[in-house]
Amino acid sequence: MIFLGILSCRCIRRNTPFVEIKRKALEEKDGNNKTIYVEHYVYINASAYCTLKTKIPFAEINIGEWFSEKDELVEFLMNEYYSALGTENIKSKFFHLFAMIEFCEKEYENHNGSRRLLSDDEVNMFIAGTEKLIDTEKRDKIISKLKDNLIKINDIGRVGKLENILKWMGIEKYTQFGTDKAIDKRLLSSIIKLRNKSFHGTKENPEDVEGKYADAVEKLLYIDEKILDFVIKDSCQDKTVDEYLIYGQDKLP
């Protein structure tokens, strides 16, 4: 028997995706031999629609946050955060998010809780004793760098300072899959070490890189979201509703 033709069928059920099936069979004869070629295609179409409604208590609405003037710091943090949510590779995401950490370290330096180990007089004493040992042509650059490093020496280090800043901001934990996890020295140290390795060109194992950066990015997304929320609220805390242009009016009635 020779079978030539196209068989198609359509299966439709209520509350199930639309399925279209096509089969094409072709039989060829070569003497006493027969060859049959069969191709099949399955198409599945599905769609869903969902409408969500919610109510926000008036007491929780801060109109000042909606109509505040342009804030360059907030804009910078927003750009870094949403760049990390884009289609960039995992290391680029990491550096966008870590830029927000470095912003906090500099912007809120007075809240890091550290104490200098050397006073200005002690630093000057070191510099005075060193200048005589350095060639005149190199002296200015070396002394400048040395003085800067001596001033920065403190009693708790970078990890401790960052932890104190985040605590001052009220950022001490994050929630992952319904479980609260502490933002402590161990977590921050692992993120800073990863940044230093990449920044200074340390050779990395390609097999470990993807996992380590992905883990750090996940944690930074939680932390940086809270940083962004803090900075936005901080930039609006001294403003009142009367200061903003609403519905074309200079002030609310």
Other C-beta atoms lying within 10 Å of the C-beta of residue 225: 15
Highest-pLDDT range among 3-7, 111-115, 125-129, 202-206? 111-115
What residue type is assigned to position 102 of the chain?
E
Q: Contact, 219 vs 187, CB < 8 A?
A: yes
Q: Contact, 105 vs 165, CB < 8 A?
A: yes
Parallel, antiparallel or unpaired: strands 173-176 and 179-182: antiparallel
Range 193-196, long-range pairs (CB < 8 A, 24+ positions): 194/94, 195/94, 195/95, 195/98
| pTM of the model as a whole | 0.60
- Assess whether pLDDT exceeds 70 at residue 47: yes
pLDDT recorded at residue 245: 40
pLDDT recorded at residue 98: 95
In the chain, the N- to C-terminal Cα span, in Å, equals: 89
Distance of CA 27 to the CA centre of its chain: 58
Other C-beta atoms lying within 10 Å of the C-beta of residue 84: 22
Q: For 190-201, write each residue's pLDDT tens digit.
A: 999 999 887 766
Tokens for 108, please give them.
């809120």
Q: For 182-191, write each residue's pLDDT tens digit.
A: 999 999 999 9
Interior angle at CA 24, CA 18 and CA 30, nearest 5: 165
- Assess whether pLDDT exceeds 80 at residue 125: yes
